[in-house]
């Protein structure tokens, strides 16, 4: 009897608790333990909370919502002692019960869904019985391949809805240290999966859209005072800057000194951060572990205070990568610093928050020793509390307080994750229209390879617990009868003993799908690649299975960075190749939908797929983007590498064909100069035409308006509907020394029904889009014959820029 009651009663209690959680209008968020409070509250400025603390809220101006944030934040800071202040500038802010200030954990992550930070950090975003899972969208490298700005923003919106719901349930903070927007300068970098690829413009555009999706509240995207604009959640663009070496042949990020030219810095490394701050109005930037030209990124006042806060006008706070301040001492041995020196240098540089405990442990001593002013700490606190005010931490956010469990892993979000994965698939090869497979002909399929039954490999890193998984095997089973053979135990594939059973499976099936690639055991945070090949026996597996298959063979690759699969591209037995990236929890469904033609793929590679010999030509630690002729180093990224590739940046096929025609275009731009606008010289290669006025400083020009307009008509000339990414490149005038080969300056994705057409209009600003950064760090607009190129030379036309001196 007792036992029966034990079981039944716990079920009843469980039901009671969960239904209470569902119905409760506002749930646990502010938890003041270890103070003497037992209750939880939704906001700091709750009169009941103050009275439970033995305080009267009316005594505290910082809780008076009729006052400006300026006045309130100052009131709050002025109440604190130095010791109390320094306890608030680490990621764990301890709060000050004496004055009613609650504690707060600043560290949550949402790279492609709410991630499980709980594994490192007991108080940030985490999962348990109350919130068992959250929607796991594709990794950013895959989502980027969709080249669809509204998709990027929609994912940000879905993630922030889940974030608010989890915050309400006490399972996440309000400040998320995502996205990762470092440019993938070298194909070996282990963190490519977290990023939007190798093109600074694409990376910056992704950043601005994802950040706006996370942060913006519909209807109040802009306010007169950006420092009081309300936020859904706070995002963070990281890791600033020139960070893209993790651990390569013993060189690791906490010791690495990136030697970077000012030209590369402006043009490539900081460009996406500038777009993130200016276009995305992000509330936070995180500085990186590495040094840049000798100086630790988190201790450089030129990079932080002067650039992010000064020049770009950040409305928010600057945070360190975790333990970066300690890394200055322990790893970089920066200036033989004592902890107080490092802390004061970072504070003076403009670093507001230390993810770690160096600020908390040493900032008060640094002040007492006279190494930094207490006022610098006040400034940091001000930047931090403005963000918490905007998030409703003090006053609540009625708009979001009804979000709860049913808003996490909703059908709508899972469908968006599936859609994102479909849009991110890149078709690399499709011999004679092998794909899509036809269910009338293909009744049985052999599904082989180390990723054939991939689950957690699809969600990569900075992941949460997904709502569910649809593996490739699951997805393909919905279209045909599947015979599964692993082929390899795992991606390392160190043993060929499972190849034979895979060949057997392929001999009998109507089609064979080989799902191969790499995973976090090969490319990850703290793990760069040493080559670009498929590991172990995977190449043999593909070649041998392809040699004996009865039906057509399709190779699906899961990876973030490019893999040298030229052997499969050139193997006549491999009829088609699809790159799936790391496609998130619904990845297997998306792969199946593409292979069987339910969805016509339209993704494009967000980075160059290099031949494996590329990495033998230059060390990963060589930072220049341009070729280094004296050392025989080739250039980096499509902008500067002029050699053969496995597949180039922007590559991607469709099941249909598209035609382009130019419907209208600006062909020339005459800019009149006054006598204060001086011509600047540019270096031209020998023998090329150099205009009399080679260039003008961009900042000297009136560049407020979009002055270039192009319209193209995209026709779907095939027999199936499809989406096309219209990619607009700029090629600078011929002969300018060290200018990029080309640069993406715009892209739009359009759906065009079979036989139909769509007009696509680009409105650009010549100063922003057609400019170069010279070797001295000036932004210049060159005169002469520029070209606009659409796609892979599908359409191109010249745009002449002329400067006329008028006095």
Ligand X SMILES: *[C@@H]1O[C@H](CO)[C@@H](O)[C@H](O)[C@H]1NC(C)=O
Q: How far is the CB of 148 from ligand X (least distance, A)?
A: 4
Q: List interacting residues with ligand X (CB under 6 A).
A: 36, 38, 148, 150-151, 154, 423, 432, 453, 455, 471, 484, 495, 497, 642, 683, 723, 737-738, 741, 749-751, 775
Q: Which is nearer to ligand X, 395 or 738 (CB)?
A: 738
Give the position of tokens 């000339």.
Answer: 717
Eight-state DSSP code of residue 310: I
Helix H segments across 669-780? 766-769
Q: How far is the CB of 153 from ligand X (least distance, A)?
A: 7
Q: How far is the CB of 320 from ligand X (least distance, A)?
A: 34
Determine which one of 91, 321, 354, 364 is catalytic: 321
- CA dist 353 and 336 (Å) reads 23
Tell me whether the omega of the peptide bond preceding residue 448 falls within 30 degrees of 0, making it cis: no
Strand partners, 713: 661, 759
Q: How far is the CB of 616 from ligand X (least distance, A)?
A: 19
Helix H segments across 99-223? 140-145, 149-168, 200-215
- CA dist 651 and 186 (Å) reads 18
Q: Which is nearer to ligand X, 312 or 614 (CB)?
A: 614
Sequence-ordered list of residues with C-beta below 8 angstroms from that of 83, at least 6 positions apart, any chain: 364
CB 761 within 8 A of CB 710: yes
Residues 496-504: contacts with CB under 8 Å, at least 24 apart: 496/537, 496/540, 496/541, 499/537, 499/540, 499/541, 499/544, 499/545, 502/446, 502/448, 502/449, 502/541, 502/544, 502/545, 503/544, 503/545, 503/548
Q: How far is the CB of 44 from ligand X (least distance, A)?
A: 18
Pairing of strands 511-517, 481-485: unpaired
Sequence-ordered list of residues with C-beta below 8 angstroms from that of 162, at least 6 positions apart, any chain: 113, 114, 134, 135, 407, 408, 409, 413
Q: Which is nearer to ligand X, 170 or 501 (CB)?
A: 501
Q: Which is nearer to ligand X, 660 or 751 (CB)?
A: 751
Pairing of strands 92-93, 779-782: unpaired
Q: Coil, strand, or helix at residue 589? A: helix
Question: How many alpha carbons lie under 13 Å from residue 428 in its C-beta half-sphere?
Answer: 29
Q: How far is the CB of 737 from ligand X (least distance, A)?
A: 5
Query: Pick from 777, 792, 774, 692: which is nearest to 732 by CA?
Result: 774
321 is catalytic: yes
Q: Which is nearer to ligand X, 38 or 807 (CB)?
A: 38
Q: Which is nearer to ligand X, 383 or 656 (CB)?
A: 656
Q: How far is the CB of 738 from ligand X (least distance, A)?
A: 5
Give the position of tokens 């209807």.
Answer: 219
- End-to-end alpha carbon distance in the chain: 102
Query: Pick from 594, 771, 626: which is nearest to 145 by CA?
Result: 594
Number of helices followed by number of strands (H, E) in the chain:
22, 30
Q: How far is the CB of 423 from ligand X (least distance, A)?
A: 6
Query: Pick from 98, 99, 96, 116: which is nearest to 107 by CA?
Result: 116
Q: How far is the CB of 416 from ligand X (least distance, A)?
A: 7
Q: Which is nearer to ligand X, 453 or 566 (CB)?
A: 453
Q: Which is nearer to ligand X, 52 or 257 (CB)?
A: 52
Put the strands of the sheet holding 722-731 in their side by side order.
Answer: 668-673, 795-805, 784-790, 722-731, 743-752
Q: How far is the CB of 751 from ligand X (least distance, A)?
A: 4
Q: Which is nearer to ligand X, 344 or 600 (CB)?
A: 600
Two structure tokens written together for 172: 């996440």
Which residues participate in catalysis according to the annotation?
Answer: 321
């Amino acid at each position: 009897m007792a036992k029966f009651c034990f079981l039944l009663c716990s079920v009843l209690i469980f039901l009671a608790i969960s239904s209470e959680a569902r119905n409760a209008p506002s749930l646990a968020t502010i938890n003041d333990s270890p103070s003497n409070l037992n209750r939880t509250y939704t906001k700091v400025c709750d009169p009941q909370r103050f009275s439970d603390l033995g305080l009267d809220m009316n005594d505290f101006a910082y809780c008076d919502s009729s006052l400006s944030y300026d006045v309130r934040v100052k009131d709050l800071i002025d109440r604190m002692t130095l010791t109390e202040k320094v306890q608030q500038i680490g990621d764990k802010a301890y709060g000050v019960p004496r004055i009613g200030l609650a504690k707060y954990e600043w560290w949550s992550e949402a790279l492609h869904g709410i991630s499980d930070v709980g594994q490192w950090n007991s108080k940030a975003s985490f999962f348990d019985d109350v919130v068992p899972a959250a929607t796991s969208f594709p990794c950013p490298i895959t989502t980027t391949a969709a080249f669809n700005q509204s998709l990027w923003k929609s994912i940000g919106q879905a993630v922030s809805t889940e974030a608010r719901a989890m915050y309400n349930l006490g399972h996440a903070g309000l400040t998320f240290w995502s996205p990762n927007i470092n440019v993938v300068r070298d194909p070996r970098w282990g963190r490519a999966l977290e990023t939007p690829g190798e093109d600074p413009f694409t990376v910056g555009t992704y950043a601005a859209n994802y950040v706006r999706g996370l942060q913006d509240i519909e209807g109040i995207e802009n306010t007169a005072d950006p420092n009081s604009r309300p936020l859904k959640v706070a995002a963070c663009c990281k890791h600033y800057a020139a960070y893209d070496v993790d651990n390569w042949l013993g060189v690791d990020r906490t010791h690495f000194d990136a030697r970077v030219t000012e030209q590369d810095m402006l043009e490539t490394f900081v460009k996406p951060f500038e777009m993130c701050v200016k276009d995305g109005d992000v509330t936070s930037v995180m500085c990186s572990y590495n040094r840049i030209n000798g100086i630790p990124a988190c201790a450089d006042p030129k990079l932080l205070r002067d650039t992010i806060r000064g020049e770009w006008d950040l409305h928010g706070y600057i945070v360190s990568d975790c333990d970066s301040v300690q890394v200055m001492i322990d790893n970089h041995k920066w200036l033989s610093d004592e902890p107080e020196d490092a802390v004061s240098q970072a504070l003076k540089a403009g670093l507001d928050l230390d993810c770690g405990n160096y600020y908390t442990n040493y900032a008060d001593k640094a002040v007492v020793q006279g190494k930094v002013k207490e006022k610098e700490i006040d400034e940091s606190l001000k930047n931090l509390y403005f963000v918490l005010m905007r998030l409703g931490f003090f006053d609540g956010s009625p708009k979001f307080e009804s979000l709860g469990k049913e808003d996490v892993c909703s059908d709508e979000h899972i469908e968006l994750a599936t859609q994102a994965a479909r849009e991110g698939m890149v078709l690399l090869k499709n011999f004679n229209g092998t794909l899509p497979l036809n269910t009338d002909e293909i009744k049985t399929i052999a599904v082989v390879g180390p990723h054939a039954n991939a689950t957690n490999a699809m969600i990569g890193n900075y992941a949460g617990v997904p709502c569910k998984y649809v593996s490739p095997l699951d997805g393909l089973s919905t279209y045909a009868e599947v015979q599964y053979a692993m082929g390899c135990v795992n991606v390392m594939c160190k043993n060929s003993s499972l190849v034979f059973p895979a060949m057997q499976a392929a001999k009998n099936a109507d089609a064979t799908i080989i799902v191969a690639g790499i995973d976090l055991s090969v490319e990850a945070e703290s793990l760069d690649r040493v080559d670009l090949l498929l590991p172990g026996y995977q190449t043999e597996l593909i070649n041998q299975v392809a040699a004996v298959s009865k039906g057509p063979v399709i190779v699906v690759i899961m990876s973030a960075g490019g893999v040298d699969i030229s052997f499969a591209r050139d193997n006549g037995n491999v009829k088609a190749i699809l790159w799936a990236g790391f496609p998130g929890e619904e990845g297997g469904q998306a792969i199946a939908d593409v292979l069987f033609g339910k969805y016509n793929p339209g993704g494009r590679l967000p980075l160059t797929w290099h031949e494996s010999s590329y990495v033998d030509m230059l060390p990963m630690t060589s930072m220049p983007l341009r070729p280094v002729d004296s050392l025989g180093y080739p250039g980096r990224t499509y902008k500067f590498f002029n050699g053969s590739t496995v597949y180039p940046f922007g590559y991607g096929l469709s099941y249909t064909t598209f035609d382009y025609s130019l419907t209208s275009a600006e062909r020339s731009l005459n800019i009149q100069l006054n006598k204060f606008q001086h011509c600047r010289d540019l270096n031209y290669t020998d023998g090329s035409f150099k205009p009399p006025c080679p260039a003008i400083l961009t900042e000297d020009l009136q560049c407020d308006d979009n002055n270039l307009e192009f319209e193209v008509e995209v026709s779907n000339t095939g027999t199936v509907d499809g989406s096309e990414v219209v990619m607009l490149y700029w090629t600078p005038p011929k002969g300018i020394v060290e200018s990029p080969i080309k640069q993406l300056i715009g892209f739009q994705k359009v759906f065009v029904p079979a036989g139909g057409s769509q007009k696509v209009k680009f409105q650009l600003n010549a100063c922003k889009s057609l400019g170069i950064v010279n070797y001295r760090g000036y932004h210049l607009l060159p005169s002469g014959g520029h070209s606009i190129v659409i796609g892979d030379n599908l359409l191109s036309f010249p745009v002449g820029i002329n400067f006329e001196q008028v006095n």
